Amino acid sequence: MAKNKLNKNWLHDHVNDPYVKLAQKEGFRARAAYKLKEIDEAEKLIRPGQIIVDLGSTPGSWSQYARQKLAGKPGGGIDGIIIGLDMLPMEPIADVHFILGDFREDDVLTQLEQVVGDRKVDLVLSDMAPNLSGIAVTDAARVEHIIDLALDFARAHLKPSGSLLVKCFNGTGFNEILAKFRSEFKTVIQKKPKASRDKSSEVFLLGKVLKNPG
């Protein structure tokens, strides 16, 4: 019974969520677009001419927002390159390159290199989150693992002046993740956008400018 009540409460909150309604109205695939929008507007992350990689991009709302920001090129199209990577299929988005697969695999990285050539990436985005079990220690390890993957990717592909934005959770293991970010980036900023639900421990970490570029 408790689970049914929980599901009903979630459904009620979801249906009445102003960001869900706004996403439906403005054509975004998920309310998560407004988290990126708020962070971008504060930090000026997305600019014309950039190469942007969206890790774990499905269903695509972050890629949609990035595309909006790069749109307006004379004659149509976007001024820049956006690549979405995910192990789950994603419905196509105009002007966004999508690569299906695990970004740790060589064949996926080869496809990425075919798009960007030998150029480095300006911005890596990751709204990835693991399936949470409710066991704090287990979940902390899963979250840290996903962020480690994003950090590894950023080390390999970011420009020295580039930025990495990841979803994290404030709780067990958060300080360790924060320390890793501070060891990699000259500037580290914590963000809790208004579109993050109040009861969620979700927080976003933004790292700017690599300390030890490869």
Q: Which residues are catalytic?
A: 167
54 is in an annotated binding site: no
Count how many residues are written for the chain: 214
62 is in an annotated binding site: yes
118 is in an annotated binding site: no
Q: For helices 18-26 and 33-43, what crossing angle results, to 10°?
A: 90
3-state helix, strand, coil in the chain (%, to 5): 40, 25, 35
60 is in an annotated binding site: yes
86 is in an annotated binding site: yes
Helix (H, G, I), strand (E, B) or coil at 60: coil
User: CB neighbours of 47 closer than 8 A, spacing ≥ 6?
Assistant: 69, 122
User: CB neighbours of 107 closer than 8 A, spacing ≥ 6?
Assistant: 101
* CA atoms of 170 and 189, how far apart (whole Å): 14
Helix H or strand E encompassing 7: helix 2-15
CA separation, residue 10 to residues 5, 15, 122, 136 (Å): 9, 9, 37, 21
Binding site as annotated, residues for S-adenosyl-L-methionine: 60, 62, 86, 102, 127
Binding site as annotated, residues: 60, 62, 86, 102, 127
